[in-house]
Amino acid sequence: MRVNNRMPSIQFHAESFRPGLLRALCALSLLVLLLAGCGDDDPSVVTDHDGNGVWTESLVPDYTNRAIWGLSSSHFFVVGEKGSIRRYLDGRWDSWQFRYFYNLRGVWGTAADDVWAVGEGGSCYRFNGTDWKPQYVGSYEDLQGVWGSGPEDIFAVGDHGLILHYDGDSWRTMTSGVEGTLYGVWGFAPDNVFSVGRDGVILHYDGQAWSKQSSPTGSALDCVWGLTPDNIYAVGALGTIVHFDGTAWASESSGTSERLWSVRGVPGHQPVAVGAGGTYLTRDGSTWQAQTIASGRYLYGLWDDRDNVLLIAGYGGLVMKLTDPAWEILNQGWTHWFKGIWAPDRDHAFAVGKDGVVLQGGPDGWQNIAPVIPDVDYAAVWGPSADDFFVVGNGGVILRYRSGRPWTVWNLQSGVNLEDVWGVSAGSVFAVGEGGAIVHFDGRSWETMDSNTTLSLAAVHGRSPLDVYAVGLGGTILHFDGIVWSQEESGTDQGLEGVWCTDEDVFAVGADGLILHGVPAGGKGMVWSTQDSHTIFTLFDVTGAPDGSLYASGYSGTVLHYDGQQWEIMDTGHFDRLNTITIDPGNRLYTAGLWGLILDYQP
């Protein structure tokens, strides 16, 4: 399955790193990485550790953009969550992502082959026109912003009053005189630079030393920017806007209490500010007018081309371009946060998740086919075929898709959140969820079943209508024999997240890498024992292949394979949380999770 051409391709700039216990050492290893430099770039296709197959990105995540800088409105860079960097060049997106996935917070450059990005953990990368190289800045404090007057005069600011300066050869720490976090830095010349931060602090650098300026606010300031030295703005928490006229700073009323993340403008026009909840402020005279754009998405970064174009970067990969008077969306963003995935045949796969998304995958990529239902998050999908399937979610919502017909929508009167769905046929479907809820569909209507527990259930699977298992909180394992649900002794009180039945055995997965194996006990239910998963990461789902092997997925990009004897870790090359996993009749494996990532594995 190919990535939809609306999605940028991601390259991993570092050698692949296996999931498992070693990941806990990532932070300690960062110093070695930065001192030694990066290894060769990894491709976006990752070969499994045993060489039997490859992982590919079926759907590339759109991470939230936190900052933007460019050379023009058709050539710019955005940086954001999970170590993501993207370049937009003449209508094409290129993407990079770094192993330790520290969130990036600032970007600035002098030319197409000289761009800097900074972020958490002292992370700093420099772009040479082709690749990003890690730079050691002498600190592991989080860096929040970067700006410079030229290639030999660059400032970066961050936590605990940290200010760093690059002179063209190396970074050195400057004395800021403050201990609170500094969020933004901006200037006009090497001897006229401003930085703002926590508790309304405003600092000025005159080329010799940093000094505090009198601030009219105690609210955190996130960004500072100006058109001229006597016309500067800073914005921040609680809708705070302050203005500098060359002599003193004064507060201005914004008309909003939303946090403002950035302020910017183009010559000849009043500045604008953006922030939480899609807040977009325009200044008219000495007052600000608020409106909501981008469907209420958080807006973090602003950049202007010093002519007539403004660019906005925000939540879930959003990038917008304003050329008065119209907005153009350059990247919509697809932050789906998937919870369920299902592949009924070799030509179809379906993924469901947050914000009511139901994606259908095929040879041409992934397309959203969901009905418009407000305020719903979907958790699971299953059906007898690609032409007839069910979706469940929060608030007791149940959907049924049948090819050629409108969606059927049910809402349980209890309003409980449903977490999983499975069935034998369209005439026998089970859904489980919050507070021990179990409902059954007989082909016509849904009925409530007595689960004999109030503990929430996370997963359901079975062999027939007379042999069904459900698992959940507190090590709960329930079995349905066609008449009643009864509880089995699991031997654990840890939460169970997934369950799968083979022809004879049952497997359940859960917290801290827990895997339970149930074997028949002579007509008296199952005897459960733990298996070694070789991981400490929580597992969220488990699925079975036609050849009898099993797969499980979980935190930090973890995927496990069971060959009937033991579980082994598969190297996905990713570190995002993988909530769900399935396999199609042709043995193609799909797994999906946070940020909208979908991986597929072809043996």
Residue 23 pLDDT exceeds 90 = no
In 3D space, the residue among 522, 513, 518, 482 whose CA is nearest the CA of residue 499 turns out to be 518
- Tell me the β-bridge partners of 586: none
Say if residue 490 is in the same domain as residue 448. yes
Say if residue 324 is in the same domain as residue 357. no
Mean pLDDT, the chain, rounded, equals 90
Say if residue 391 is in the same domain as residue 304. no
Say if residue 409 is in the same domain as residue 507. yes
DSSP per-residue string spanning 455-524: S-EEEEEEEETTEEEEEEGGG-EEEE-SS-EEEE--S--S-EEEEEE-SS-EEEEEGGG-EEEEEE-TTS
pLDDT classification of 465: cutoffs 50, 70, 90: very high
383 in any annotated domain: yes
pLDDT digits (tens, 9 = 90+) for 115-139: 999 999 999 999 999 999 999 999 9
Alpha carbon distances (Å) from 18 to 24, 81, 570: 11, 21, 8
Element (H or E) spanning 26, and its range?
Answer: helix 26-36
Domain that holds residue 137: 109-331
29 in any annotated domain: no
264 in any annotated domain: yes
Poorest-pLDDT segment among 56-60, 99-103, 282-286, 426-430: 99-103
Say if residue 416 is in the same domain as residue 325. no
Around Cβ 393, how many Cβ atoms within 10 Å?
A: 27
Element (H or E) spanning 77, and its range?
Answer: strand 75-80
CA distance 404 to 253: 54
Poorest-pLDDT segment among 38-47, 81-90, 154-163, 246-255: 38-47
Say if residue 312 is in the same domain as residue 351. no
pLDDT at 60: 80
DSSP per-residue string spanning 220-270: -EEEEEEEETTEEEEEEGGG-EEEE-SS-EEEE--S--S-EEEEE--TTS-
19 in any annotated domain: no
- Tell me the β-bridge partners of 410: 398
pLDDT at 416: 97
Element (H or E) spanning 30, and its range?
Answer: helix 26-36
**Under 8 Å between Cβ of 344 and 386:** yes
Element (H or E) spanning 76, and its range?
Answer: strand 75-80
pLDDT at 335: 64
278 in any annotated domain: yes
Say if residue 298 is in the same domain as residue 415. no
Say if residue 326 is in the same domain as residue 343. no
**Under 8 Å between Cβ of 593 and 602:** no
pLDDT digits (tens, 9 = 90+) for 183-240: 999 999 999 999 999 999 999 999 999 999 999 999 999 999 999 999 999 999 999 9
Say if residue 439 is in the same domain as residue 522. yes
pLDDT at 89: 97
Say if residue 496 is in the same domain as residue 377. yes
CA distance 185 to 147: 6
56 in any annotated domain: no
**What is the mean pLDDT of the segment spanning 393-418?**
97
pLDDT at 34: 32
Alpha carbon distances (Å) from 130 to 72, 115, 303: 18, 11, 23
pLDDT at 301: 97
**What is the mean pLDDT of the segment spanning 259-275?**
93
Listed residues 302, 331, 360: the one ending a domain: 331
**Under 8 Å between Cβ of 14 and 125:** no
Element (H or E) spanning 310, and its range?
Answer: strand 309-314
More confident residue, 35 or 137: 137
In 3D space, the residue among 91, 145, 98, 150 whose CA is nearest the CA of residue 118 turns out to be 145
Tokens of 162: 């940290």
- Tell me the β-bridge partners of 327: 322
**Under 8 Å between Cβ of 282 and 288:** yes
Listed residues 331, 351, 374: the one ending a domain: 331
**Under 8 Å between Cβ of 238 and 251:** no
CA distance 158 to 142: 6
**Under 8 Å between Cβ of 317 and 299:** no
CA distance 506 to 525: 11
Residue 171 pLDDT exceeds 90 = yes
Give the number of domains in the chain.
Answer: 2
Instruction: Write down the residue that tokens 């005279």 correspond to.
Output: 285
Residue 180 pLDDT exceeds 90 = yes
Say if residue 367 is in the same domain as residue 508. yes
pLDDT at 28: 32
pLDDT digits (tens, 9 = 90+) for 412-459: 999 999 999 999 999 999 999 999 999 999 999 999 999 999 999 999
Tokens of 324: 């008065």
CA distance 341 to 363: 17
Say if residue 299 is in the same domain as residue 381. no
* Dihedral sign, Cα of residue 59, residue 62, residue 63, residue 69: positive
**Under 8 Å between Cβ of 55 and 601:** yes
CA distance 120 to 118: 7
Alpha carbon distances (Å) from 241 to 157, 226, 303: 20, 13, 18
Instruction: Write down the residue that tokens 């953006």 correspond to.
Output: 274
Around Cβ 190, how many Cβ atoms within 10 Å?
A: 16
Listed residues 290, 310, 331: the one ending a domain: 331
Q: Which amino acid type is present at position 328?
A: E
59 in any annotated domain: no
452 in any annotated domain: yes
CATH code at 439? 2.130.10.10
